[in-house]
Every structure is written in structure tokens, then in C-alpha cells.
Homo-oligomer: A and B are copies of this chain.
Amino acid sequence: MDAVNEMIIEELKKDSRISMSELGRRVHLSPPAVRERVRQLEEQGIIKGFTIALDIKKMGYPIEAIIEATIKNNRYNDFKQQIQTYTNIDFCYRIAGEACFLLKAHFQTFVDAETFIDELQPFAHTKTNFVFSEVARF
């Protein structure tokens, strides 16, 4: 991870669709050289994938909630399994702190949010924070 690799990552973060030639131009490297570096970054798992950034609100999910979940009755595995069945979860972290997990999910309506939280209750008690806005990206 030298300075050139950092530049490569910076450029791909801004636009992952540029060609290897264009990327080479931007970081002052030949196409085969930059291609090989990207391949290695993928191989090392530093670059996990090429993807898109989505605006979840504009996709018809105006409600976003961050939920802290504290597991009940030792039902860790049930909780994890339940979590996997949802497609409206943006991330879920196992954390050290007051709660056991912290997750973010999105909903079309408050009714959907209520249903979601209710469904978690057998496994965890929850504390829900609704998202007003995101402070501009970094």
C-alpha cells in the first residue's frame, strides 16, 4: 500500500467505471502496470468489489432507522439468522457497548418499520433512532 495504490483507490472511489488506461493516465502508470496493481488489491481483499452508491430515499424508502439490539435469552444465532432474511438492511455490526448489535434499515412506511421492530422482539430488545439526514460525505 504505497502512495500510488492510494491514488488508485481514490480514483476508483470517485468513479469505478473508468478504463484501466484512463486510470493509468491519472496515476501516471502504464495500463498493464495499473491493471496488475488493481488485480492485487482485489486479491488481497482490500478492494472488495466494484459497486454503485444508491439514494435509498429516492428508491421509495423515505424512512431510515438505526436500531440498537440487545440480545435476549442468549438467542444470538436466532437473531443473526432472522437478520439474514431481510433485504432492507443496509448494515449490521456486532459491537462492544450497551447493545450487542447496531443495524441500519430502510422502510417505505412507518407501519413497515413497526412490523420490522416487532419481529425482532423475540430475540432482542431494541432502541430505535430514526435518521433525519446524512451529513455530507467524506
Residues of B within 8 A of A127 (CB): 97-98
Report the minimum CB–CB distance from A67 to chain B (whole Å): 10
Are A95 and B129 also in contact (CB < 8 A) when A51-B53, A66-B102, A138-B89 are? Answer: yes
Q: List the number of copies, as a whole number.
A: 2
Judge if A52 is at the interface, Cβ distance under 8 Å.
yes
Residues of A within 8 A of B (CB): 1, 9, 12-17, 44-55, 58-60, 64, 66, 80, 83-84, 86-87, 89-99, 101-103, 127-138
Q: Is the CB of B93 within 8 A of A138?
A: no
Q: Is the CB of A52 within 8 A of B93?
A: no
Q: Is the CB of A52 within 8 A of B50?
A: yes
